[in-house]
Amino acid sequence: MAASKTQGAVVRMEEDRDGSCSTVGGVGYGDSKDCILEPLSLPESPGGTTTLEGSPSVPCIFCEEHFPVAEQDKLLKHMIIEHKIVIADIKLVADFRRYILYWRKRFTEQPITDFCSVIRINSTAPFEEQENYFLLCDVLPEDRILREELQKQRLKEILEQQQQERNDTNFHGICMFCNEEFLGNRSVILNHMAREHAFNIGLPDNIVNCNEFLCTLQKKLDNLQCLYCEKTFRDKNTLKDHMRKKQHRKINPKNREYDRFYVINYLELGKSWEEVQLEDDRELLDHQEDDWSDWEEHPASAVCLFCEKQAETIEKLYVHMEDAHEFDLLKIKSELGLNFYQQVKLVNFIRRQVHQCRCYGCHVKFKSKADLRTHMEETKHTSLLPDRKTWDQLEYYFPTYENDTLLCTLSDSESDLTAQEQIENVPIISEDTSKLYALKQSSILNQLLLQECLKN
């Protein structure tokens, strides 16, 4: 079976110029036993890393060779060299051991060509020098389904483990900074380190395999390694001073070693928390209009200046005050040329007079608001405003009622200003006083003072 594309795996096929040998990844077959098929890295902590004894092993798909799970790269190298099979995107396989065991069984049932794409290298050479390599990838529907099922199973196990840790009350741990002992739930020590030592590795509910996480961090500190920049220091005091002064009391976000301790990294196959977060942000931006289109704003009811009538819109309230009380606020605003702040003062003035049961037209005080309203409607004093100097005072900047919605609906556009006000409100631009002495010497005031002195 041949596939049109290969994802994540690249097999470089070259031929020596003299045609003497074929190569995979630039390595001759003659010394293929010692070839390097991937980048290498030195151990990050002193002493290197060692394979855990008793760890489960993984068999080769085709033979009886076994390799520890922690040494899966050696198994992959063995399968490429000995059996000429390449597995694409192996880092996206949630459970490497189950994946290998599944295909080990399937390859005994059907030929490998039923599942793998065939890649022929050195195709221009004589037939006996040509070799076929086999690519197993998720282009094959069966492989893709297997990877997805392994991912779902892995996520289920992680969530079960997380729930168990959340409910566990037998946790025992020691703070890596002050050596204080903690018992109970894991959240106690995590919250302590965040609060007392400004060391925050995330919310407890977002972390899984907490014991292993803390042990990993403690081991780095025991090896005198900074948790953030991962540099190694000569003694513990130097390390502590470095982390404190450089504010390195945090983990390195680029260290993929920590990914397995955060639940979000198990949510989607092959994607880290950073990639998932970026996708969420892009989705929010793409659907921003849709997300806000169903927003239903609850209208704030405005209350009449003279009675208890409420209206959902300011237009309805204006109509009510004009019909029921013969008070046209828009007409008054236009005739008097009121700007926004003057409207605020007028509304607050009327509110206060009505609250005190006093008619602002004749200054008579009544026992109740009902009596005041009857009087003002009969005498038509609602439209009889006092002189501007009576209500255009600083004290009426402050609302009579704190929740007066009417104040929020008043217009504050520049078009509210009359032509006269726009002429009178000429902007005053201050002088540049950075060179005050020079201004004093060249000021026109000097000439005016001199002329006045000469006249006298």
Domain final position from 389, 408, 427: 408
423 or 393, which is more confident: 393
| Statement to judge: residues 325 and 232 lie in one domain | no
Inside any domain, residue 420? no
| Statement to judge: residues 174 and 138 lie in one domain | no
Range of the domain at 310: 302-408
Inside any domain, residue 265? yes
Give per-residue pLDDT as tens, 80-91. Answer: 999 999 998 888
| Statement to judge: residues 62 and 132 lie in one domain | yes
Q: By CB neighbour count within 10 A (0-12 exposed, 13-18 middle, 19+ buried), where does 447 fall?
A: exposed
Task: Please give the average per-residue pLDDT across 345-349, as a whole number.
Answer: 91
Inside any domain, residue 343? yes
How many distinct structural domains can be found in the chain?
A: 3
∠64-68-71 over CA atoms, to 5°? 110
| Statement to judge: residues 205 and 129 lie in one domain | no
Inside any domain, residue 172? yes
- Residue 196 is encoded by which pair of tokens? 């007392």
Could you tell me the pTM of the whole model?
0.45
| Statement to judge: residues 173 and 144 lie in one domain | no
| Statement to judge: residues 309 and 397 lie in one domain | yes
Report the range out of 100-104, 432-436, 443-447 with the highest average pLDDT.
100-104
Return the bridge partners of 120, or none: 132
Q: Closest by alpha carbon to 317, among 332, 301, 337?
A: 301
Cβ-based neighbour number of residue 158 at 10 Å: 19
| Statement to judge: residues 62 and 148 lie in one domain | yes
| Statement to judge: residues 148 and 175 lie in one domain | no
Q: By CB neighbour count within 10 A (0-12 exposed, 13-18 middle, 19+ buried), where does 345 fall?
A: buried
Domain final position from 90, 122, 152: 152
| Statement to judge: residues 173 and 268 lie in one domain | yes
| Statement to judge: residues 308 and 394 lie in one domain | yes
| Statement to judge: residues 232 and 274 lie in one domain | yes
Inside any domain, residue 373? yes
Inside any domain, residue 422? no
Percent of the chain with pLDDT over 70: 71
Inside any domain, residue 290? no
Is the confidence at residue 297, as pLDDT, over 60?
no
Which pLDDT belongs to residue 94? 85
| Statement to judge: residues 129 and 105 lie in one domain | yes
Inside any domain, residue 11? no
Domain final position from 264, 279, 294: 279
